[in-house]
Amino acid sequence: MKNKALALIAAGAISIGVAMPSMAGDGPLSSMASLAGATTAVIVDTPQGIVVNSLWRTPHTMQRQLAKHFGDEKGLGQNLAAFALGWPVGMVWGVPYGAIVGAKHGMTSGWEKPFSTDSYIVTEEK
């Protein structure tokens, strides 16, 4: 009896989950679909933002800015010093920054365009 009830609940949840994107328009359940879309986008985008920002965007940007402030952004010495300082600090700083950027992107794009491809991919910063 317990297994049948569990199977019925799981089947109901799957059928509602499959139908949820079609309710994302102007229907009576649009706010519920937007909430579900934003929730799933935040769950996916937060770790994605952490990985992208801690491993590439923030360290790369920090290195470029440090080399620019050291005097010559194309110079070998300035780039080596900027790399030695910028990449470790950028990787550490990229974790909380990526979490904030990923969660914000998930909330905004998941609410406006629930269950779309754009809401699940942390795009370039604007």
For residue 101, being part of any structural domain is answered with yes
For residue 11, being part of any structural domain is answered with no
In tens, the pLDDT along 10-63 reads 877 777 666 666 555 555 556 777 888 888 889 999 999 999 999 999 999 999
Number of domains in the chain: 1
For residue 84, being part of any structural domain is answered with yes
For residue 24, being part of any structural domain is answered with no
For residue 27, being part of any structural domain is answered with no
8 A C-beta contact, residue 101 and residue 49: yes
For residue 3, being part of any structural domain is answered with no
Q: Which residues are CB-neighbours of 47 under 8 A, at least 6 positions away?
A: 102
Determine the structural domain holding residue 55 and report its residue range.
38-120
Q: How far apart are CA 125 and CA 101, in angstroms?
A: 9
In tens, the pLDDT along 102-118 reads 999 999 988 888 888 88
For residue 70, being part of any structural domain is answered with yes
Q: How far apart are CA 62 and CA 78, in angstroms?
A: 13
> Residue 67's pLDDT is what?
93
> Residue 38's pLDDT is what?
87
For residue 5, being part of any structural domain is answered with no
In tens, the pLDDT along 62-98 reads 999 999 999 888 889 999 999 999 999 999 999 999 9
In angstroms, the Cα distances linking 68 to 40, 89, 122 are 39, 17, 27
8 A C-beta contact, residue 70 and residue 82: yes
